[in-house]
Structures are given as C-alpha cells and as structure tokens.
Structure 1
Amino acid sequence: MLMEHHGFSGTPITVGGGARLSVRRAEDCARFSLRISPEHASAAAKAFGCELPSKIGDMAVSGAKLALCLSPDEWLLLAPAGEGEGIVARFAALYDATPHSLVDIGHRETGIEVQGVAAITALSSACALDLTEMADGTGTRTILDKAQVVLIRRSAESFRIEVWRSFASHVWGLLEAASHEVELGL
C-alpha cells in the first residue's frame, strides 16, 4: 500500500533575532522506546552507548546520544540518524540473555527545538506544568494543549519537544501563536 507522508511546514520562528525566542524543527535522529527491567539497565546502556538514568525524569547524554528515564522500566533513546541500525543490531544480540523491548519510534515522532529567554513563556502558554520548576537536564511526558509530548529541558533556555507527527502541526501552531504574544510583550 502506498502511503504519502505530509510533514508539518516547520518554517523557523524567531523573535528578537532568535535571542528572545527561536522555534525550529530538530535535526532528524534515531528514536527508540526501550522497556527493560532496571536490573538489566547496565547491559542496555552498553548496547546503546550511553548510561540509562534510574530516576524518572533524569537524562543522560553521551556525545550525540540521549537517554531519558520515563518510568521505572522505560527510556526514550535518541541517537544520530545513521546509528539506528547498529543500535537495533546490538540490542538484538542482547535479547537472548536480557529480554527487553526496543521499538523504533522514528517514523512516529518528530522533534521541535524551542530556545531563548522566552522559551518558558512560549511553552507555558499551552502546558500546565510549572516549567520554572523543571531542572536542566531533565524531561517528562506532558500535554501541550491536547497533544501528548515528551518535553526535554537541556538548559535554562533550551527545550526539545518530541511529538507524534500527527500532532506536530498543532503543536507548531501553538508555538507560533505564543511567539506573537512574546513579540508583543504580552
């Protein structure tokens, strides 16, 4: 069956030359959902090439790889696009000794980068979480308006949204509307 892919437009949004607010599509990457017993996390970390944090919401970074703990036995794994097949092969070799579920979610999700001094203001327009309380180097599942997302806070002014492609245009529209409010100082 032939399926056509319609991505969201994702024309970059900037306010104040990007210093106040910059919203852009994130570079494509390999994305996986990993479910594994916590006692086997070290074996999975070796296969992935990055530590798997044990505390929900904590994030580990090794080079261009990122592992975010979403539940006691679930991690979101992000890696450079070209490394996906190698990661799948290493986890396949691990399976007999360490049962787990590694699901490629790269076709389901896309990323949006939100940066600048007004990043929290823009994101807070559609998110019920108090983002000022979210520590740098953490992430969480949350809702932006009606879309479930994973929100990653890399630093004080840098966030990444992982969202299902089917909701990406909606989330982008929310951020675009918020950018107008930021520009007007509302």
Structure 2
Amino acid sequence: MSKAVSALEGVSHKGFVEVAEAGLRGMITLRGDLASAKMKKAVKAATGTAVPAARRIELNGDKAAAWMSPDELLILVPYAEAVATVEALDNALAGEHHLAADVSDARAVFTIRGAKAEEALMKLSPVDFATLAEGEIRRTRTAQVAAAFWKSGPEEFTLVSFRSVAGYVMGLLEVSAKAGSELFPA
C-alpha cells in the first residue's frame, strides 16, 4: 500500500503573512436532509458538533462540520479516521437517503496566518471580510478556482480547494502574501 502524502507536502511561504499547505486532513462530503433527527445524531457522533446553520462551521478540536449547501456538509476529521467515519455515517444513516464520500485525497488545505491574514485573502476572493465572523464559512472562489474558507483563529484562516489546483492556489497565496516592495523592488 502506498503512503498518503498531502498535495504539496507542507510547503510554506512567509511574507507579510505566513501561508502554508496544512497537510493531510480527513474530509467527507455528507449529503442528505440536514434537518432530520438521524442526520443530526450521525453528525454529533462523528464530530461532537451540531449540524451547523447556513454558512457556519462548528468546530470541536480536530473535528468539524461545515455547511456547504442546503443538503451538504463537509465533515472534517483526522486523516486516519476518514474511512472509519464514512462507515459510521453510513451505518448511522441506514435507511435514510444520504451520501457519505471520503474526499480527503481530492482536496488540499491551506492556512493563512498573521495580523493581516484577511488582507492576503481580500486580494483573491470577492468576500466582504468586514462582515465575516469567526465560525462563518464562505464557499466562493480564490482567483479563478473554487474554494471554501473560514476564520479559524484570531489571526488565521483555513482554506480548502481541490487538490488538482493546489500548486496554483499556493502560488496565488504566495504572491498575495508579498508586501508591495517585494512585488515591485526599487
């Protein structure tokens, strides 16, 4: 069996903020009736959180449930737990229309850290950061690619994109994190 590796093997860049590929993360797309009692119980068992409200992410240590659409959540768990979590969700939701799919190896995760982290993202995404509250997730675009991100700490954002564009996203983040003098030296 081959060893799993993250998209960019932890590459990072330090500019006016630090951007880094965050490594392997277990990610599960969970679709179904988010209001059903079975779904709520299954999400609680898998993550220790409630089903999040629209455009919210509920965090519990290294596990989370993020709202992605009216019938879709992104479940975050440690990478090694993703397969077992999908199985547990399927068992808990037996008899109810749902889909639980391990998408861990199809996604890449990045962190953007520093006092001006939102400024780096402002250059790339059409989001009103002044109104983005902690615990709120945005499913949007970063330059020309689909992405989702949330404020994961006082001076930190976590961004998820498709693995196939991880190099492109890291390049965008690197350039976005450079101070003006780095872009246009005298």
**Is contact 1:29-1:81 (8 Å) kept?**
yes
Partner of residue 113, structure 1 = 111
Instruction: Write out aligned runs for 1:38-53 (5 A).
Output: 38-40=34-36, 41-53=39-51
How far the C-alpha of 1:136 sits from its partner, in A, is: 0.7
Distance in 2, matches of 1:183 and 1:159, equals 24
Partner of residue 12, structure 2 = 12
**Is contact 1:50-1:60 (8 Å) kept?**
no
Distance in 1, matches of 2:44 and 2:146, equals 30
Q: CA-atom RMSD, angstroms?
A: 2.3
Instruction: Write out aligned runs for 1:107-146 (5 A).
Output: 107-146=105-144
Query: CA offsets per residue over residues 125-161 of structure 1, 9 Å max, x none?
Result: 1111122221011111111110100112113311011
Distance in 2, matches of 1:134 and 1:6, equals 28
Runs (4 or more) in structure 1 with deviation over 6 Å come to none
Q: TM-score, normalised by structure 2?
A: 0.85
Instruction: Write out aligned runs for 1:57-136 (5 A).
Output: 57-136=55-134
Distance in 2, matches of 1:57 and 1:42, equals 17
Distance in 2, matches of 1:31 and 1:110, equals 10
Say which SS state the counterpart of residue 34 (structure 1) adopts. Answer: strand
Distance in 2, matches of 1:81 and 1:35, equals 20
State which of 31, 34, 38 in structure 2 corresponds to 1:35.
31
**Is contact 2:117-2:155 (8 Å) kept?**
yes
1:26 pairs with 2:22: yes
How far the C-alpha of 1:22 sits from its partner, in A, is: 1.0
Greater mean alpha carbon deviation, residues 94-103 or residues 30-39: 94-103
Count residues with an aligned counterpart: 178
1:170 pairs with 2:168: yes
Greater mean alpha carbon deviation, residues 45-54 or residues 75-84: 45-54
Query: CA offsets per residue over residues 23-52 of structure 1, 9 Å max, x none?
Result: 111131110111120232312223413224
Gaps of 5+ in 2: none
CA distance 1:6–1:93, change in 2 (3 Å): closer
Distance in 2, matches of 1:56 and 1:116, equals 27
1:181 pairs with 2:155: no
AA matched with 2:110: I
Identity of aligned residues (%): 23
